[in-house]
Structure 1
Amino acid sequence: MDYKKGRYSSLIKPIFGFIDLVIINMAVFYFEINLKNVYVFCLYISVSWIIIAVKNHFYEVQRHTRLIQIAPLLFRQIVFFTIALYAFIGFFKQPSVSRLSLGNYLLLVFILICVFKFLTIFLLKKYRTVLRGNIRKVIVIGNNDKARQLIKTFNKRLDFGYKFEAEFSLKDKEFSLENCFDYVIENNIDEIYFSVAELSNKQINKLIDFADNNLRELKFIPDNKDIYSKKLKYEYYDYIPILSLRAIPLQESVNKFVKRLFDILFSLFIIVFILSWLTPILAIFIKLESKGPVFFKQSRNGFNYQEFDCYKFRSMTPNKNAHLLQATKGDLRITKIGALIRKTSIDELPQFFNVLFGDMSVVGPRPHMVSHTNMYAQRIDKFMVRHFVKPGITGLAQVSGFRGEVETDKDIINRVKYDIFYIENWSLLLDVKIAVQTLTNAIKGEEKAY
């Protein structure tokens, strides 16, 4: 379980978005538009551009997206941006704005955005083709026409950035999924492609479980076989149809940026307005009751299974089993002040520093102690899926009644189900709803908050 997923740069799309914003703002100063307040106008067009881009999926151009598919994106983006731009005149009551200058501005923006869009795509393709950067290692399971076409595409279209490593044929007498799994682990394969037609339902389920539990992306070449009721993502690699088994919204750069911005603003608010005065007060009470540090640090597994130091206010007397045993009801290790801050979840507040540093999110699957994570990874099916996103201070499972001590396997199984639902259905509104519900539960008090 020491696999670290080799992702392509998550900064590429945000950087493209930033440059587009620079273009649409700098172009304003080349024309006499007769604006009352140019800075209000720049703020307006920047917000409008971002909202339209998100709705239009303007920056969701994948490595295998064809150029012909980009033209409609550009057209829709400019059309809706034009509507928003001329709406500014009526909305802010600025009849003196020059319509002709505004039209010239739009024409320049359209030309610059188009040139930049196609130029960056061209440069990225050259980067993958010539320098072999931004590469994803893949294998294919299957030996039929579509599988061979896909392999041919991987080897021919170097600009896609896929490095084909091996083909596993079920017609080979020595074939076994176990050998395939060993190869994936030993060679750090990023993505697994398989032909549905050649695998039995049992083998497909086994392959799905392996991919989930080892943080590999699993994609399959569809045919007329029954497809499971999953949230599938349909894509084309050249002319080969591909289905992605699990669509994760937070793998999209725009969603990732929105969530990170929410995390930073929320954590800064808590740190500045609550922890700044609460920490010294709690430090005095913690120190008076027992010797030891004010903060408790514990290694936990986060995004891509990487370990990080998770911080809390110390609520127990210092003990050797703190990193091995969960707190239980009536635990003698818990101090008096510790019982109070645990009951109200105040002991978790230092984790907002983890959020600010980027190890955690405000909302996400709760991280477990390393020893427990290793145990659950072996015992609980799909437990590792939780590590496709950053862990959270609170989560959907916690506000749904599955927080605190894991008394039976049923507790952790249900927690995993809620976490997977959250991962596959993330939205900023869902994060806000969970954060509000967490605050409400903390005020009311919870049965398993001990």
Structure 2
Amino acid sequence: MSVPKIQSRQLLGLLSILLAQLFAISAAQAADVVVQPSAGSGLVVKDNTGAIERFRVSETGLISVSGWPTLPEQLSQMCINSGTGVLGPCAATVGFSLPYAATVSSPSTLFNITQSGAGGTLSAAISDAANTTTVMKVTTTGLGNGLDVQLPASSGARGIDVNHSGVGPGVFVTSQGGNAIWGFVNSMSAAAVIGDGSSGEVIVARHNGAVCGLNIGRCAGIGAVVGRHDGPLGIAVRGFVTDPEGGTGVLGQAGISGGSGVAGRFENVNAASPTTTLEVATNSTGNLITLAKSGTNVARIDSTGKGFFNGGTQTGGADVAELIDFRGNTPRPGDVVEIDPENSMHYRVSTGAESALVAGVITTKPGVLMNATVEDATGLPALALVGRVPVKVTLEGGDIKPGDLLVSASLPGHAKKAPIQIRPGTVIGKALQSYSSGATGSVEMLVMTR
């Protein structure tokens, strides 16, 4: 049979009429209208001139629409039923038009696109400069990730790339419970969080203390930046400079914008820890430590450990002392000690009255400690050389009054009032206090050996 030429370019309307006449099955019809083209040919619909092909159904079942890009837009959508092969309007749940919204309950991924070519997979943009709405919004009330980005191990690409030319934040995160940003790294050559910049601060952390309220103590242990290392011999916070012209590895400042506080504080809160709280090390010839006031250096410790103080030094002790080696019983603070004649450069607790070997008294808290280095063993006694120290005394020589000269007593480690006839080299000092009761006691003594 011959097929009349099509008079309308409304393709989708044409398809509906044509399919209703040729392919739709109805109980009211006596029989289908069958077109049986020969092998290699098909059913063809052309325009009113007969020169332009509009629609073709091949003998093998393939359908082609040659002029699709130039056809007017239609409101209805066409679908092929996978079960019956019928082409017709799509069901309400098939496909989408914009704006589009749907709620679907399915265990499968609702939107899955794989790009095997060189192009992108998904692009979304807002072209209106005055538009303040969000380009893409991800919301979840489940336990899964809001956004999951996976890159192969060999990839050098960015998981998320934000190219920002405005003044707002490139990435902004608000958290009411969990961590706002959490980075995890499992490589020695990588970093969990890294920031690069050619001007401005690279990474800034600000804490406004809003949760503190009037109870300032609530924020006493909260840091705007916290470094934590749970491994052995690790460094929690590290700052270094690579510019040959110099720079500052770590800078702590207080008093900015009229504030107050401490620019730097170091604590060792473990009472049982024997480690150093603050350690300064250098391989250079410069100073270990420099202290300045209003831009002027007032004190420094050079690379050899020598200290320089513009205003002098002031300590809590009242004497100058030096560490000593000893033999026998350990000398205790207040003990009278003498030179050990059997061991060169060593001392011992005094052993007899009016000994000419006496060297002085072991100090309790020296103001200045001589000949001490960081390598000295702890626990060595310190012998008072100059100043005022407490000394153990007895009444063996009579009551002691301020100004009395003191010498060693027969009781080991103790002093007594010197006799009228004083042997040279036996005096250890001059009493500054009285003592007249009890077998033994203690008085303040001015060191004065002679």
Per the normalisation by structure 2, the TM-score is 0.18
Q: Which has the larger radius of gyration?
A: 2
Q: Which has the higher strand share?
A: 2
User: Relative contact order (C-alpha < 8 Å, sep 6+): which is higher?
Assistant: 1
Per the normalisation by structure 1, the TM-score is 0.18
